[in-house]
Amino acid sequence: LSWKVQHLSEKRFNLEMLKKREDSLEKQKAELINQKSCLLKILVYVKRKMTEEEDNFTREVTEFNNEYGLTSNRDLLIKKKVKTEINDLENEAALLKNEMESMEHQNDQLNALQLQKSELKQDIFTLQSELKGI
């Protein structure tokens, strides 16, 4: 009986310890949830402030650029670059066209030589036939 009492006492003690541990963990969980909530609020605030700062910066840069005409200069530079690139492409197209015409001329010469070669082969064949007949 005393053994059972001692065993029951140990189990009660362990149960009390587990309850205390559970309570401690619940408190820790509540603290962490509260901390998470505070950090999320801070994050939202910081993101909002960051967006406001970015918007202010963009607005100030735009105003500065407009005030000193920097955007119009940039547009002129872009137009100049585009014209230069178009001119370069037109020159390249002209070179390619000349090269194609040259190749066509060479192709015509090659076709003429092949025709002449065929005619010469025919002549050789005719002459060989005549020689065989003699």
> What are the structural domain ranges in the chain?
1-68
pLDDT reported for residue 68: 80
How far is the C-alpha of 109 from the C-alpha of 37, rounded, in Å? Answer: 86
pLDDT reported for residue 22: 96
pLDDT reported for residue 70: 76
**Residues in the chain, pLDDT under 50:** none
List C-alpha distances in Å: 50 to 38, 39, 46, 110.
18, 16, 6, 73
Q: What is the DSSP letter of 69?
A: T
Rg of the chain, C-alpha, whole Å: 47
How far is the C-alpha of 32 from the C-alpha of 134, rounded, in Å? Answer: 118
- Count of residues in the chain: 134
pTM of structure: 0.44
How far is the C-alpha of 134 from the C-alpha of 131, rounded, in Å? Answer: 5
Find out whether 65 and 71 touch, Cβ atoms under 8 Å.
yes
pLDDT reported for residue 75: 78
How far is the C-alpha of 61 from the C-alpha of 55, rounded, in Å? Answer: 10
Find out whether 57 and 63 touch, Cβ atoms under 8 Å.
no
Q: Provide the token pair at 36.
A: 């998470």
How far is the C-alpha of 127 from the C-alpha of 46, rounded, in Å? Answer: 101
Instruction: Kindly state the greatest CA–CA separation across the chain.
Output: 144
pLDDT reported for residue 1: 80
pLDDT reported for residue 99: 93
pLDDT reported for residue 74: 75
